[in-house]
Amino acid sequence: MDLMQCVAISQDGRILELQFAGQNAPRRNLLFPLRLQLTGALSEPFTADVTCLSQSSAIELKTLLGQRAGITIRHHDGERKVNGVVTAVRQLGADGGLSSYRLRIQTALALLAYRRTCRIFQEESVPDIVAQIVQEHSASNPPIAASFRLDQQLRQRRPPEVAYCHAYSEDM
């Protein structure tokens, strides 16, 4: 009898837990987080590189791209959750019935960096420009649509319109 068939890898009670959300999300214990490198800075989006183990060496990597994912980090004071979208994935290798993978999880806003566009906005307010960009991305990009709900509640009556606003080769 193969030892790997007797041992079930579980995330229960571990310091790191990886979860996926959505209709086509992978099953809970498909990937077992082993190592996390979390980087971030003030006014910068975070990047979480997660090295995982799996009993499957045949995971279709493209099925993980764009999946909403979250990492729970448990420590003595409680836990911290980091949520985002899988923006990169690769298989690192396999040994003894286990395969290792590396996932990069970033905020859904990081997906905007993969699209360049040139735009001109005239006589529109900044909230209207942001709403238009988010709606366009939501219509063509399911991970962004699943991650954002734009609520335009403004404290002032109507923000001033910008006479002319342009974006040249911007990631938006």
Q: How far apart are CA 64 and CA 73, in angstroms?
A: 21
Q: What is the pLDDT of residue 22?
A: 75
For the chain, what are the domain ranges? Answer: 3-106, 112-170
- What are the tens digits of pLDDT across the range 41-60? 888 889 999 999 998 888 99
Which CATH code for domain 3-106? Answer: 2.30.110.50
Residue-averaged pLDDT of the chain: 83
- What are the tens digits of pLDDT across the range 103-160? 999 998 887 777 777 888 899 988 888 888 888 878 877 777 877 777 766 666 777 7
Residue 8 pLDDT grade (very low, low, confident, very high; cuts 50, 70, 90): low
Query: Considering the chain, what percentage of its residues have pLDDT values greater than 90?
Result: 35
The pTM of this model reads: 0.76
- What are the tens digits of pLDDT across the range 61-76? 999 998 999 999 999 9
Say yes or no to pLDDT of 37 above 80: yes
Q: What is the pLDDT of residue 3?
A: 43
Q: What is the pLDDT of residue 106?
A: 95
